[in-house]
A = this chain, B = another copy of it.
Amino acid sequence: MKSPLSHLNARGEAHMVDVSEKAVTSRSATAEGFVTMAPATLDMILDGTAPKGDVLATARIAGIMGAKKTSELIPLCHPLALSKVTVDFEPDRDNACLRVEATAKVDGKTGVEMEALTAVTVACLTLYDMCKAVDRAMGFTGIRLIEKTGGRSGTFRAR
């Protein structure tokens, strides 16, 4: 019996799925996540001038570089020649959090959901690292895929 989990074979063993018969199509994926923190930590990131630039710039670069490492980090991911990666931040002072959104694109045989999610999580980790000296209680929440397009399974949009 074939497992419904595509990364396992009939014996339940892990393998890197054969995608050689799949068509090369244009695919994209967007993921999001939220870094929760003390209001004063958010102020520190957003206010002032120089620090703001470098905290967010560092997290953005880390997220983009992280997306390129996806197939090294996730055991059964296929290596992909990404054609685009963006990472954006949106502060939410009311909820004392920073929203992270990442989009990845590829022309390939498999999707880029993992690349978008990896970009978000590495950006979150970097924000934690940059600010942990003042706020060790920061956390990450609501990390999820919000949209993907392309490929056999078509478009997905989170509700």
Which A residues lie at the B interface, using CB under 8 A?
A: 3-9, 11-20, 26, 33, 44, 48-55, 57-58, 60-62, 64-69, 71-88, 105-109, 113-114, 117-118, 121-122, 124-126, 128-134, 136-145, 148, 156, 158-159
Contact = CB atoms under 8 A, between A and B. Distances in A.
A69 B73 contact: yes
Nearest to A118: B125
Copies of this protein chain in the complex:
6
B133 A125 contact: no
A126 B113 CA distance: 12
A-B pairs with lowest CB-CB distance, top 7: A12-B50, A139-B144, A18-B84, A53-B53, A57-B57, A20-B83, A140-B143
Nearest to A86: B15
Contacts of A50: 8, 11-13, 53
B64 A15 contact: yes
A57 B148 contact: no
A108 B15 CA distance: 20
A79 B82 contact: yes
Nearest to A1: B48
A72 B70 CA distance: 12
B8 A51 contact: yes
